Amino acid sequence: MPLEILSPAGSFEALTAAVRAGADAVYFGAGGFNARRNAKNLGDDELAAAMRYCRLRGVKTYVTVNTLVTDREMPAAKELVSQINTLGADGVIVQDLGMVRMMRALAPDLPLHGSTQMTVHSLGGVLAAHKLGLSRVVLSRELPIEEIRFICERSPIE
């Protein structure tokens, strides 16, 4: 599997800097459903521009929708996911299992990646994520390298 240089891009300026510096992919939040919602994020008008900018340069885009979503918030979350899917994101980084289910129904071909907020820290967790339809999982930061190696060698997903 080839190495992917993935960079955070909280603003359009950060996104362009990451792309110019050679990132293969960028991730950023949009809307209020990302763990860095109080930090600088792309606005609604910037989301489409960011996707176009990256697509023209062969850079993948992953959008973070990695917070827990309440029932009241679900209609707005569905609207955001529809927009992300329509714009052609390469994947969505997600935490909430209810959102995973909704995204699978709404956008079945949209790749889903388990966020570090999912707290996947074992091979069993990776296998469960795979069964839910995730194609990539960001393992818990606290894992020792030996455990990461063990999981990666046996994992059916990235």
| Intervals of the chain under pLDDT 70 | 1, 37-39
The CA distance from 78 to 80, in Å, is 5
The CA distance from 127 to 157, in Å, is 8
Residues in the chain: 158
Q: Which of 100, 96, 103 is nearest to 119 (CA)?
A: 96
Q: What pLDDT was estimated at residue 35?
A: 79
> Letter for the amino acid at 27?
Y
Q: What pLDDT was estimated at residue 3?
A: 86
Number of H helices, E strands in the chain: 6, 6
Is residue 28 within 8 A of residue 15, CB to CB? The reply is yes
Tens of pLDDT, residues 54-95: 999 999 999 999 999 999 999 999 999 999 999 999 999 999
